[in-house]
Structure 1
Amino acid sequence: MASEERRIEDELSYPILLSERVRTAVDEAKSFKLECSEVGKQVDRLSQNLRTVVRFATSAPVLYERPIRCIIAEVSKNLERVLTLVRKCKRRSVLRRVVTITRATDFRKLFNFLESSVGDMKWLLSILDPDTAGNNGIELSLAPIASNDPILSWVWSFIATVQMGQLPYRIEAANELASLADDNDRNKKIIVDEGGVSPLLKLLKEGSSPDAQIAAATALYNLACDQEKVSTIVNEVGVPIIVQVLGDSPMRVQSRVATLVARMAEYDSIAQEDFARENVIRPLVTLLSFEMFGEDQNNHQLGKQSIHSLIQISKEMEKSTLAKPKRSSSSSSRDCNYSNTYSSSSYSYYSEGSSRGGHYRKERENEKPHVKLQLKVSCAAALWMLARGSVLNSRRITETKGLLCLAKLVEKEQGELQYNCLMTIMEISAAAESNADLRRAAFKTNSPAAKAVVDQLLRLIKEVDSPTLQIPAIKSIGSLARTFPARETWVIGPLVTQLSHKDLDMATEAAISLGKFACPDNFLCMEHSKTIIEFNAILPLMKLLRGNEHSQLHGLVFLCYLALHSGNTNSLEPTRVLTALEGADRSALPQHPELRELVSKAIYHLNLYHTGGHSQRLTFVP
């Protein structure tokens, strides 16, 4: 580390001093004069190259130092060998010459070392100053020092070009780094270890051309494959740069940068927090909602409102909703009313008058549809990764009214965009499940955003035949179980229907979600349990118990909750349930001892409240 801390001029001064000492030792040599003379010529060439590098290093506005330090260290080592051998030739005493034998083979080895050093210096000059070296493009020759690892030479050359070259060559070099990084993890590690992240961030920040920014963002994306490498980007102060570019760049650049945000947030929780701290969520939601409500004539006048004013409008609409009389809880009435709620209150969220992105407003409006779609896909993926496992980020998304945007996209879009938006909703719902404050703030009963989200989740569960979409929707409803009043029975019916689904994973997820309605942590577990039973959940639940271990486990937990909270209703079919629980007591519980107490409580409750044609077995004493 000490050598890394020294100035590059100090690093270069030592081999120059060694070359002068070698020159003096050559002049004083008394034996092997021919060999020493040849050594002197090689060292002179080396000294000349060293001085050229010094001049370039002191005058260049930016300098890529990594290959300089590595090559200079090797050159210094070779010059030390030369100096040691040539000094032996100065001794005239026969006795000394016998004691320190110098042979012609020693000089042959020495010549090889010097040739390698001269080759390294020529290669170094070719990447540092291509014009002087007569090189008009990227240098792809191999440095002797890296002869055993050609990738190292290429990486050095590409990084140097990205940092110091002309714009067309910088773009080409960034694309080459992206290609190398995409090949394998070893290449990624070399690029990061050799200092490739900082020049790429600089190229991304400069905004010299969209192609340059895309090339830099692509290379950074390919490098960001694990937590360690993402941390390197974060430590190079990459997060503020990325957020700045996302806010004010052409749409195709924003799309690639949003993908980079998603990748970094996926692999590193620190990056996830830093992005949120830099307020990346606001531009992501803004870009995601671009042109979303342009077709709504009633909201056309809102198209140029600021984000702040739009949020205030939403708050006023929510207050007006609170003042209205309560609607019927029937599903048909609610479906109709809620679809109107978010179509009339979801306004054009995109802030054309915002401080960021205004410069490219007209270009964005005239952009090709597939570019706009890809931008939204990337922004939705970024929001998904930012929300994953983060209550704070989920709260920030809801505070920017992102839920309205997500609900509208889930309704209108298909494919990857719809899926990414749905997964974002799932993560926000999971965060709300674990945080009561977020749950009350974002999913309160009268919130238009919450109603829009729930409507779309239930639509997917009921109308779409795709487990890929239905399972996240089912999970989301389960996470929100504690937000639904007892009268909202229309939410439970679609979940009970999915208990009979032919896809066992779907049925199991439905059981898990319904279990969150019936579990003791839910204040309304008694009312919800009775509703679930009234929707005839027992028969499909019994079938679920005959599935694999995963379905049996969650089905058994759900059945125990129903048994405990069903009261004295005969709709539970107590005899069949008791038989199933006793069978589980013999088969499933040995593998899951943590369930023993829950099953015992359920059996005790059934024997206590449902006496009849079944033997009473009071196995639990509360």
Structure 2
Amino acid sequence: MVLSPSPPPSRGGEQSEPPAPPPPFQDELRHPIILAERVLAAADEADSFKSECAAVAKQADYIADKLRSVVRFATTPGQAVYERPVRRISAEAARNLDRALALVRRCRRRNIFRRVVAMISVADFRKALVHLEASAGDVSWLWSMLESNGNAMALPPIASNDPIVAWVWVGITSIYMAPMAEKIEAANQLASLAKDNDRNKQIIVEEGGVPPFLKLIKEKDSPEAQIAAAAALLYLCNEGDRVRAISEESAAGVQTIVKVLADSPMRVQIWVARLVAVMAENDPGAQDNFARENAIRPLVTLLSFETFSDDQFGGQIGKQSIHSLVQMNKEMEKVGEVKMRSNNNNNKEKDRDSLQYRPFVMSSFSSFHSDAGGGSKGGGTRKERENENREVKQKLKTSCAEALWMLAKGSVSNSKRITETKGLLCLARLVEIGEPELQFNCLMTIKEITFAAESNADLRRGAFKTNSPAAKSVVDQLLRVIKGSSSPKLLVAALQSIGSLARTFPARETRVIGPLVNHLNNRSQEVAAEAAIALAKFTCEENFLCEAHSKTMIEFNAIPALMKLLRGSERAQLRALILLCHLAVNAGNHEALEPARVLTALEGVDRMVLAQYPELREMVAKAVYHINLYHRGPHSQRLTFVI
């Protein structure tokens, strides 16, 4: 493909001009045709090497004839043409014709001196003919591919060194021009190519494969086509630059994906949700793009589908006052406020009256389903969705949970959006009843949201306030996992989440401390270390209840468990030592510290470890000081700890 030169750098206050767009490809086709006509005219005027010039003219005439056919085809009204191979092949043909024209012109009548200097040989014509024959093969292949809607079988000479390029051209041409069944087959073949290796992925993107995939994914009448396009895009998205190529395509790539996510059959939504997850995982910019297009709302909607039953919380209504239920319903109906405004006043009163006696969770999600395309042609009716088999529903929930996880990862704004849609209630419920993979994805989403809340006071106070039903549900499920799960990866996620919420628990919330202390004795050193990290967030000086939490931990026998953990792995030792220092500083006068020989353990810390972690050195020194301050005994003389 002929590239336009880069614009010169701007000087002083002048603004550099944007690069000129490529000319219409009809103009690029016209240039080699004109060159071919000039070759024919020069061959007629040749006085030497007439037979060789005639052979060159024959090839030039063939190239011009095929290119004219391509021009007529491309200018047909309503005809979509994949331009990339047209531009590449016409540019190569123009180069070869230009060389041939220069050679043939040197065969015209000239004086003897200039003919001697020219030094033309038969070998020069053989070389020119080889290039022209290659271009003739290229344009012949191009015309056959266009004429057969992408069904060309052989490879063009231009792609002889890299057949993948030709296969990509054929596949993309089929998606542009072929009937729907062949489009689906072509998309599947390109997806298979992309799945093989990163080089194939890059070729597909560079050769313009993204726009036809985005166009195909909008084919509501063919779920198979949508799935094929979503799968191909999914396999392209393992690297940030390619994700950006999809996000920024015509400034509507993300918008297209979100629209399909909200308004398609479940089996299509599974693949589109996976696509959202992979794009968000590999490009932070995609997280923001999806947030701007409000992708979180349909994801939470799909996740909540059939998650709660009408009698799910029936037993809780009797425990709640009517006023409190009405207040919770008003808060949760804010998400559907725009839609509620369109209802008449009588319907509003009727809905409010009925919501007072229904479980508060159901009111928040009913408005989601009405806006998620549940009754549209693409999404199918609600009954059709309910009749979908259980495996498809579970796969969809799992994919949506993963997408929410990746959108929330490292993003305070997206985490806040999830909590504003009341997604926490849904995530907590699925942690309780979900299958293992779904349960894990929901736990990881909660973990990312709690991470964000740990670093953002507004999110922490808004989403995890003590009287919040969503926060209570999340904490209950995290504790259920911590108490009952044997899976290290689930335990680690739950422990990390509880640790991130440490500053939200009051001193009386001792039910959280006990299960965490128990895991200091876990067989898995990773789990034990995470338990120590979580407990350290309760006892660090940033937590204004650190003294009360420290005393509670000691009462739950945390000291013996930590002394044992000091003999564990290097990471476990480090985390246990930090927590032990916190306990000594916050509750140095507790009688349990002396018989446990905490002072001896602290004084025996490896000096190399302290040298490696300067902050830990200060913590150990401070802990030793507090223990010596409150406990006078055989170790009281050891106040000379080196600081």
Q: Same fold (TM over 0.5)?
A: yes
Q: What's 2:430 paired with? A: 409
The farther-off stretch of 7-16 and 266-275 is 7-16
Alignment of 1:270 onto 2:285: yes
CA drift of 1:313 comes to 4.7
Distance of aligned partners of 1:559 and 1:9 in 2 relative to their CA distance in 1, 3 Å threshold: same
What are the within-5 Å matches in structure 2 for residues 221-300 of structure 1? Answer: 221-236=234-249, 237-294=252-309, 296=311
Deviation sequence 1:456-486 (CA, Å, 0-9, x none): 1111111111112111111111111100000
Deviation sequence 1:383-436 (CA, Å, 0-9, x none): 000111111111111111101101111111121111101111111111111111
The farther-off stretch of 210-219 and 154-163 is 154-163
CA contact (8 A) 1:504 1:547 kept: yes
CA contact (8 A) 1:394 1:428 kept: yes
Q: What's 2:470 paired with? A: 449
Question: Partners in 2 of 1:575 and 1:421 — Cα distance?
Answer: 40
Question: Partners in 1 of 2:618 and 2:359 — Cα distance?
Answer: 51
The alignment yields a C-alpha RMSD, in angstroms, of: 2.2
Q: What's 1:146 paired with? A: 159
CA drift of 1:353 comes to 2.4
Q: What's 1:330 paired with? A: none
What letter matches 2:289 in structure 1? D
CA contact (8 A) 2:588 2:627 kept: no
Alignment of 1:15 onto 2:32: yes
Question: Partners in 2 of 1:166 and 1:316 — Cα distance?
Answer: 50
What letter matches 1:14 in structure 2? H
Question: Partners in 2 of 1:479 and 1:427 — Cα distance?
Answer: 10
Q: Which of residues 1, 4, 8 in structure 2 aligns to 1:2?
A: 4
The farther-off stretch of 179-188 and 34-43 is 34-43
Question: Partners in 2 of 1:297 and 1:24 — Cα distance?
Answer: 87
Secondary structure of the 2:370 match is: coil
CA drift of 1:289 comes to 0.9
Question: Partners in 2 of 1:372 and 1:411 — Cα distance?
Answer: 17
Q: Which of residues 75, 78, 81 in structure 2 aligns to 1:63?
A: 81
What letter matches 2:123 in structure 1? T
Alignment of 1:484 onto 2:497: no
CA contact (8 A) 2:96 2:132 kept: yes
Question: Partners in 1 of 2:527 and 2:261 — Cα distance?
Answer: 38
Q: What's 1:169 paired with? A: 182
Alignment of 1:532 onto 2:546: no
Stretches of structure 2 that go unaligned for 5 or more consecutive residues are: 6-20, 315-324, 334-357
CA drift of 1:138 comes to 3.0
Q: What's 1:209 paired with? A: 222
Question: Partners in 1 of 2:72 and 2:328 — Cα distance?
Answer: 63
Question: Partners in 1 of 2:153 and 2:628 — Cα distance?
Answer: 82
Q: Which of residues 84, 92, 96 in structure 1 aligns to 2:114?
A: 96
Q: Which of residues 99, 113, 127 in structure 2 aligns to 1:81?
A: 99
Alignment of 1:591 onto 2:607: no
Question: Partners in 1 of 2:332 and 2:32 — Cα distance?
Answer: 75
What letter matches 1:184 in structure 2? N
CA drift of 1:621 comes to 11
CA drift of 1:316 comes to 5.8
CA contact (8 A) 2:151 2:174 kept: yes
Question: Partners in 2 of 1:180 and 1:164 — Cα distance?
Answer: 20
What letter matches 2:216 in structure 1? L
CA contact (8 A) 1:8 1:69 kept: yes
Q: What's 2:374 paired with? A: 357
Question: Partners in 1 of 2:462 and 2:449 — Cα distance?
Answer: 12
CA contact (8 A) 2:560 2:596 kept: no
CA drift of 1:232 comes to 0.8
Q: What's 1:179 paired with? A: 192
Question: Partners in 1 of 2:629 and 2:594 — Cα distance?
Answer: 14
CA drift of 1:91 comes to 2.5
CA contact (8 A) 1:30 1:92 kept: no
Distance of aligned partners of 1:574 and 1:610 in 2 relative to their CA distance in 1, 3 Å threshold: farther
CA drift of 1:344 comes to 4.6
Alignment of 1:418 onto 2:439: yes
CA drift of 1:63 comes to 2.4
Question: Partners in 2 of 1:602 and 1:298 — Cα distance?
Answer: 48
Question: Partners in 2 of 1:164 and 1:462 — Cα distance?
Answer: 59
CA drift of 1:241 comes to 0.4
Q: What's 1:518 paired with? A: 539
Secondary structure of the 2:521 match is: coil
Question: Partners in 1 of 2:490 and 2:504 — Cα distance?
Answer: 22
Q: What's 1:303 paired with? A: none
The farther-off stretch of 262-271 and 550-559 is 550-559
Question: Partners in 2 of 1:178 and 1:524 — Cα distance?
Answer: 55
Alignment of 1:157 onto 2:175: no
Alignment of 1:40 onto 2:75: no
CA contact (8 A) 2:47 2:109 kept: yes
Distance of aligned partners of 1:501 and 1:373 in 2 relative to their CA distance in 1, 3 Å threshold: same
Distance of aligned partners of 1:80 and 1:317 in 2 relative to their CA distance in 1, 3 Å threshold: closer
Q: What's 2:69 paired with? A: 52
Question: Partners in 2 of 1:130 and 1:581 — Cα distance?
Answer: 80
Deviation sequence 1:206-226 (CA, Å, 0-9, x none): 434111110000000000011
Question: Partners in 1 of 2:419 and 2:326 — Cα distance?
Answer: 11
CA contact (8 A) 1:311 1:401 kept: no
Alignment of 1:113 onto 2:131: yes
Q: What's 1:618 paired with? A: 639
CA drift of 1:619 comes to 5.0
Deviation sequence 1:265-312 (CA, Å, 0-9, x none): 00111000110111111100000111112363777xxxxxxxxxx997
Q: What's 2:322 paired with? A: none
Deviation sequence 1:53-81 (CA, Å, 0-9, x none): 22222225422211111111110110011
CA contact (8 A) 1:62 1:163 kept: yes
What letter matches 1:471 in structure 2? V
The farther-off stretch of 377-386 and 93-102 is 93-102
Q: What's 2:348 paired with? A: none
Question: Partners in 2 of 1:183 and 1:613 — Cα distance?
Answer: 69
Q: Which of residues 388, 413, 426 in structure 2 aligns to 1:392?
A: 413
What letter matches 1:36 in structure 2? C
Distance of aligned partners of 1:462 and 1:344 in 2 relative to their CA distance in 1, 3 Å threshold: farther
CA contact (8 A) 2:82 2:173 kept: yes
Secondary structure of the 1:186 match is: helix
Distance of aligned partners of 1:604 and 1:575 in 2 relative to their CA distance in 1, 3 Å threshold: farther
Q: What's 1:561 paired with? A: 582
Alignment of 1:507 onto 2:528: yes
CA drift of 1:106 comes to 1.7
Query: Given the two structures, how large is their TM-score scaled by the length of structure 1?
Result: 0.90
What letter matches 1:434 in structure 2? S
Q: Which of residues 183, 200, 219 in structure 1 aligns to 2:213?
A: 200
CA drift of 1:352 comes to 3.6
Q: Which of residues 125, 128, 139 in structure 1 aligns to 2:143?
A: 125
What letter matches 1:122 in structure 2? S
Question: Partners in 2 of 1:147 and 1:29 — Cα distance?
Answer: 34
CA contact (8 A) 2:300 2:423 kept: yes
Q: What's 1:458 paired with? A: 479
What letter matches 2:48 in structure 1? S
Q: What's 2:317 paired with? A: none
Query: Given the two structures, how large is their TM-score scaled by the length of structure 2?
Result: 0.87
What are the within-5 Å matches in structure 2 for residues 363-382 of structure 1? Answer: 363-382=384-403
CA contact (8 A) 2:559 2:596 kept: no
